[in-house]
Amino acid sequence: MKLRIVAAAIGVAIISSVASAQASMKISISVAQNSHQGVGIDTFAKEVEARTKGRIKVQPFYSGSLGGERESIEAVQLGTQELTLSSTGPVPNFVPEARILDIPFLFRDKAHARAVLDGPIGQEMLTKFEPKGFKALAWAENGVRHMTNSKRAVNAPEDLKGLKMRTMENPVHIAAYKGFGIVTTPMAFPEVFTALQQGTVDGQENPLSVIMAAKFEQVQKHLSLTGHVYSPAIILMNKAAFDKLSAEDKTHFLEAAKVAAKANRARVDEDDAKGVTELRAKGMQVIEVDKSKFVTALAPVNAEFEKQFGKANLDRIRAVK
């Protein structure tokens, strides 16, 4: 009798501890919290917690504290980390189909890119992550990339010849920047500031949001507004972790990711609006280049991309209004 009461009490204790247990998940970014990506993952964490009434907690990690983007994507694929928000930099190494989105001068502007990513082409692309062990929750945004360096004012594509620049670990970017005559050095983002500071590389390219968040103005004198490529970002989740969620929680995660992407894009717009003024005030020399010269200089490389990816596929993206 006594034993049975004890057993029942233990049973109650176990059940109540399960009911009140909070699932805790990790999400990471490679840039600082005070950034477009920080706004993205903070919003995501807040939304998931609110929508699940605190049953699921998402803990944000910033500044590459869990590793660079490639390492974080790997961790999400393995399931040692549930979530990450990453640029598409290292994504082609996991999902080769996504390479097409990293082609320079493919998107006219952010509005075009957003329409493509939120439309059928982008939504179809999200499904390509599933066989690789990911649930891609939503497209977010890194921004339009521009070039910086410590050596010289880059006014025209000729000025890029021989510059040693850090690139993302992205095969499309590397091929394209070689086409400009740049000496490319692929490197994970958390190493970039030191590499610029020590002169291991002369320059790098990133959206204004990243340049400001990383304080690159401290180690880079020249900024050229080349706008040479749009840089998407994506919110990735370990597929098994997503599949384990109830149908209701799946919806909460997908909705939270949409709200997060919206907040992230709004911050990119804010950064783009004030970035040049702010970086000039901090001592950078900012050059508004004639973009058409850069487009022309890259024509041979882009012709290669057309062959490689299929003109019809590129035209389908270009045709989106």
Minimum CB separation of residue 127 from ligand EAX in Å reads: 23
Backbone φ, ψ for residue 37 (5° rounding): -75, -35
Nearer to ligand EAX, 188 or 259 (CB): 188
Nearer to ligand EAX, 168 or 320 (CB): 168
Residues in the chain: 321
Give whichever of 30 and 77 is closer to ligand EAX, judged by the CB atom: 30
Query: If binding is defined by CB under 6 A, does position 147 make contact with ligand EAX?
Result: no
Q: What letters, b where the CB count within 10 A reaches 16 and e where it falls short, cover 3-36?
A: eeeeeeeeeeeeeeeeeeeeeebbbbbbbbeebb
Q: Could you give the string, one character per residue 61-100, with x where binding to ligand EAX holds by CB under 6 A and - elsewhere?
A: --------x-----------------x-x-----------
Check binding of 206 to ligand EAX (CB under 6 A).
Answer: yes
Min dist. Cβ of residue 37 to ligand EAX (A) = 6
Choose, by CB under 6 A, the member of 62, 134, 139, 189 that binds ligand EAX: 189
Smallest gap from residue 186 Cβ to ligand EAX (A): 10
List the one residue out of 222, 204, 208, 216 whose CA is nearest residue 271. Answer: 208
Residue among 51 and 275 whose Cβ is closer to ligand EAX: 275
149-188 residues in contact with ligand EAX (CB under 6 A) are 168
Q: Assess 298 for contact with ligand EAX (CB under 6 A).
A: no
Q: Which two tokens stand for residue 115?
A: 């329409």
Closer CB to ligand EAX, 98 or 320, in the complex: 98
- Contact call for residue 256 and ligand EAX (CB under 6 A): no
Give burial (CB, 10 Å; 0-12/13-18/19+) of 290.
exposed
What part of residues 5-44 is at the interface with ligand EAX (CB under 6 A)?
A: 30-31
- Own/partner pairs, 261-265, CB within 8 angstroms, 24+ separation: 261/40, 261/138, 261/139, 261/140, 261/141, 261/235, 263/39, 263/40, 263/43, 264/36, 264/37, 264/39, 264/40, 264/43, 264/85, 264/140, 264/141, 264/233, 265/36, 265/110, 265/114, 265/140, 265/141
Mark residues 216-255: x for contact with ligand EAX by CB under 6 A, - for none.
---------------x------------------------
Contact with ligand EAX (CB under 6 A) among 73, 117, 138, 210: 210
Three state DSSP letters for 187-237: CCHHHHHHHHHHCCCCEEEEEHHHHHHCCHHHCCCEEEEEEEEEEEEEEEE
Asked if residue 142 binds ligand EAX (CB under 6 A), the reply is yes
- Number of residues near ligand EAX (by CB under 6 A): 11
The secondary element (H helix, E strand) that includes residue 275 is helix 247-281
Residues that bind ligand EAX in the complex, under the rule CB under 6 A: 30-31, 69, 87, 89, 142, 168, 189, 206, 210, 231
